[in-house]
Amino acid sequence: MNDDRTDSPDAAESAAHGHLLPQLVAHLREHRAKLRDEWATRIRDAHLLEAMTPQEMSAETTRVYDNYVEVLETGSVEALQHYARDLSERIIPRGVETHEVVGIVLLLRDVLARSLFEKYEGDFGLLNEVLDAYEPAANRIANTVAVSFVDERERVIRQQQDAIKELSTPVLPVRERLLILPIIGVLDSERARQLTEQLLNGIRTHRAKVVVIDITGAPDVDQTVANHLVQTVDASRLMGASVIITGLSPTIAQTLVTIGVDLSKMNTIGDLQGGLEEAERLLGYKVTRTEEVADSP
């Protein structure tokens, strides 16, 4: 901070931008507290980062400010990139949006630019040169932060998508040519699509003739999903398998009829046990207790 270069105006003017930047950095360090507060005020006025507490805001703005100045000094964005990713990781779960992050960086850029205007008010030529040095660096910083934030967001989304995929529905062969598909949890259209894909492939792999889809574990079904379910039944039929749906809850039954989904072609049975019995009947299985078999002549 004490590295304040008091080069003569002539020298500064003749010097390359490389000489101006240190001067700039020194200026920003000198007025750190004032500029940071000004920036924080503008963030508040713009209603950005409202998910964060004032203390957090103060800590983060200080760190961002220091990182910002450091990039101007060293010209290397690596540390900033690292910090931005780290920051994103912390604030994304809090619901901070991309526009807020880009917004605060751009505000800082403006605040600092204004302070440069004040400092070099008297010397227009010098101001011009300072800005020539400052602007590309500032733009690069804004870019780096935005890209880091978006990258981190995408990473989180990918991670969540993978988690959803792992939650997906298993297709279980119970007997030869009989599959069970227990659906547990909310069935959104993405999951429904995945379910169909797995079921149809399962029918082919296991050469299934009957499939029991049990939706006891599904809390609710909307129109899109219900229609998708109907389509799944039709598609299974095209592949030569008949589908039995079991475990329709009272709520779902009422919803389906109220929203007017045509379920007349669907074979539905109260519970999984009944569904399995029906499937066995369709396949020609007859299940008897061993004692009864032993008793019969």
Using CB under 8 A as the criterion, which residues of the chain lie in contact with other proteins when the complex forms? 196-197, 200-201, 203-204, 207, 209, 231-232, 234-241, 281, 284-286
The least distance separating other proteins from the CB of residue 281, rounded to whole angstroms, comes to 6
Write down the least CB distance from residue 97 to other proteins, Å. Answer: 35
Considering the complex, state which of residue 141 and residue 195 has its C-beta at the smaller distance from other proteins. Answer: 195
Which amino acid makes up residue 47? H
Provide the minimum distance between the beta carbon of 204 and other proteins in the complex, in angstroms, as a whole number. 6
Between 25 and 275, name the residue whose CB sits nearer to other proteins.
275
Residue closest to 141 by CA, chosen among 91, 98, 83: 83
Compare residues 48 and 181 and give the one whose CB is closer to other proteins: 181
Long-range contacts: 136-141, Cβ < 8 Å, 24+? 137/21, 137/71, 137/72, 137/75, 138/72, 138/109, 138/112, 138/113, 139/109, 140/71, 140/77, 141/68, 141/71, 141/72, 141/77, 141/80, 141/105, 141/109
| Residue placing its CB nearer to other proteins in the complex, 90 or 204 | 204
Residue 113 CB neighbour total at 10 angstroms: 14
Phi (first) and psi of residue 149, to 5 degrees: -65, -45
Nearer to other proteins, 104 or 199 (CB): 199
